Amino acid sequence: MFLKYKPTWMLENIYQITPEQLKKHGIKAVLTDLDNTIIAWNNPDGTDELHKWIQEMKAAEIPVIVVSNNKAERIERVVNKLGLVSIARAMKPLAKGFRIAEKQLGLPKEAFVMIGDQLMTDIRGANGAKIRTILVQPIVETDAWNTRMNRAMERFVMKHLLKKFPEEMQWRKEL
């Protein structure tokens, strides 16, 4: 049961992911969560480091699509500034948003990776869609009110995963 929540990789943050690492694993497109993955949930502007990372992905011709459960208006405020495409109301952990991304880019699921900070939505959803995953640490320690319940359940699941897969479930600096 807990395998549904096990990430393929665990990295400290999204900025550690390079185009070279992605290409080495046959990854041609990045799906990413929004809040606490690429931006702090309470700061929609993003950091200079994020802007640099996005430019690196664009230069390597690796599309980045934001797949979020948020409303389109909330996401567009961020992605328009970053020059990204988004899928709003993705209904994670259901596969809806991931299937839309596959159709938009015309790539097989093996060509994608989903990056997110939550086991319960990002990782579970992508695993269910048979897409590889990268769990990153949340950018900030606080969460929006609707995420706090997930975090409590996430701690329980993470404890089990750490016990069962101690070698694999470690924070790393690269894929």
In the structure encoding, which two tokens stand for residue 145, read together? 């009110």
6 falls in which pLDDT band (50, 70, 90)? very high
In order of their start, the domains of the chain are 2-164 (3.40.50.1000)
3-state secondary structure of 23: helix
pTM of the model: 0.94
Helix/strand/coil percent split, the chain, to 5: 45, 15, 40
Buried b (16+ CB within 10 A) or exposed e, 99-118: eebbeebeeeeebbbbbbbb
Strands, sheet with 29-32, edge to edge from the N-terminal-most edge strand:
9-11, 132-136, 112-116, 29-32, 64-67, 85-87
pLDDT digits (tens, 9 = 90+) for 14-28: 999 999 999 999 999
pLDDT average, residue stretch 33-60: 91
At 147 the pLDDT is: 63
3-state secondary structure of 152: helix
pLDDT average, residue stretch 43-55: 90
